[in-house]
Structure 1
């Protein structure tokens, strides 16, 4: 790939699953499925309410870590409500937030839809809009950008 000014752009390689941090939300080590077929990233959340602070709209939501029996209450600027088509073809109206995401050594702002992902294996999905011009996906490996995890070849559901 070539970046601005025809200089080669370094692309990092991610596996089909990685752990990410959402530092402004206080979330670390969130298991995420990398899904280049999905446009928008998504986070499992239960909406608790909306409010205004200093003229900006915010959303308060809970992120449950079922295996650890932990609930993290988060607040973020609510930037939009959009129709998002899920993997089963259903369109749902979802709240969208924008927050920094850390994947490997990179931290960058992403738009994330808040959704009920309780029936999904991963509480977070990283879509192609977040990956674009930053990462290439190696679907045959896991944990390529996750510190503390040994990279794994192959797919083990």
Structure 2
């Protein structure tokens, strides 16, 4: 049986090129269904008559005053249960996620993760179907390679 070439550790370095994020620590969590990105504050805006959001990312826990500002079209709004079991309505945006030399489209919810160690949680629906997560290894893919990444088609179930 051949192992998938898409092998990820329980945490990886990622990039979100559409949001101009070149490097971000991500926790890969197959116990979580939905992928989530730290965003604070989140402001609903309108662009050409369509709903968008403007939000700040604090990419480093060590420098919470430094804010990276992003804007993205709203894909949806969903009620999500957080890790404490509390339901909250969150904006959902679509973007591209790059880990190592692989990139694929992903839907992420936006919430304040300032108390969490990782600014992004990659849930199981955000992983390509041929991905293998090696739970006792970190940083298997290395830094995101934004040169000529391979694009995996991915449709969230």
TM-score (norm 1): 0.83
Q: For residue 46 of structure 2, what is the aligned residue in structure 1?
A: 52
Q: Specify which of 48, 62, 71 is matched with residue 67 of structure 1.
A: 62
Q: Specify which of 115, 139, 142 is matched with residue 143 of structure 1.
A: 139
Q: Indicate the larger mover: 105-114 or 47-56.
A: 47-56
Runs of 4+ in 1 over 6 A off after TM superposition: none
Larger Rg computed on CA atoms: 1
Q: For residue 76 of structure 1, what is the aligned residue in structure 2?
A: 72
Matched, 1:128 2:124: yes
Check the 8 A contact 2:23/2:143 in 1, yes or no: no
What residue ranges of structure 2 are gaps of 5+ in the alignment? Answer: 145-157
User: CA separation in 1, counterparts of 2:20 and 2:12?
Assistant: 18
- 1:5-16 maps to which residues of 2 (within 5 A)? 10-16=4-10
Report Cα offsets for 1:35-60 as digits up to 9, x if no partner: 00111100111134222212321100
What residue ranges of structure 1 are gaps of 5+ in the alignment? Answer: 2-7, 149-157
Q: Specify which of 28, 34, 41 is matched with residue 28 of structure 2.
A: 34
1:144 deviation in Å? Answer: 0.2
**Root mean square deviation of aligned Cα:** 1.9
User: CA separation in 1, counterparts of 2:128 and 2:84?
Assistant: 24
Equivalent pairs, count:
142
User: CA separation in 2, counterparts of 1:54 and 1:125?
Assistant: 31
Change over 3 Å in CA distance of 1:9–1:108 after alignment to 2: farther
Change over 3 Å in CA distance of 1:48–1:90 after alignment to 2: closer
